[in-house]
Structure 1
Amino acid sequence: MERGNSKHGPRLDDEMSRETASTVGNTAGSRAEEWRQPEPAGEDQPEPTRAPQNDTRSSAPKGMTPAEVEQRSRLGRYISLSVLPADRSALRSNAEENEAPDDILAALDRLPPDREYQTVSQVWAALGHDNETQRW
């Protein structure tokens, strides 16, 4: 059975569009009424977009600089987790398969050959770098 046209008619369509105009067609923001707009910060309060003064937080864990975190992450990009635990030769082979640059391959060549590494952090430490310190 075909239902035909689904319009209600011009008068009913106009009435329905006026009823929903405050929620559908609001171009001033997500709130329809002015009283719903958030209040600005008080006179004695900082703007919400500013960070507090002397904020020393960083994205690096305690015991590492952001540059060290990036370098360790870069090393980890070329070592597949599926290869771990692995020794130096397996790590180097895996890094070659993952198209590691020469500096990463040279760093892996400096690893002691008789040791097995469980994590990228252990590889990083064996290369003479510090990992994050525990926060107890």
Structure 2
Amino acid sequence: MQRGSDRLSVHRDDEMKHELQGLLRSGHPTRTEEWNDPEPTAEDDPDVVNGPVTPGRGPSYLEALRLELARNLTRGTFPAGPRELGRVLRRGNAPDALVDGLRRLPHKARYGNVQELALALTESGRSGPPAPGVA
């Protein structure tokens, strides 16, 4: 039974099925123009496949801290100690919570990348209050 509330005609519906047939069979986009393909999801996009991201399902504290540090530090910053990293964060107007966390780290320590720094900040709860945007 057709109610007339369909947005597409039967002919347009068949045409769309034909257009998608290559994608459905191959499992990847089949268009020659890349701009026409949908953009893939990014690694840091929230996982919404299983529903909305709630506080219990959001990124862990370490992941959120690492993301916040990566937003404010570049690869060229490393390797560096807490004082140098603190200067870079202050110059970049980073959240105060990140700079305060660096002050609690050993002054002679050196960090080779954001991951090492994030682990050092979360170790033993020395990172202080979470940075803005950090769950």
More helix by share: 2
TM-score, length-normalised on structure 1? 0.48
Compare CA radii of gyration and give the structure with the larger one.
Answer: 1
TM-score, length-normalised on structure 2? 0.48
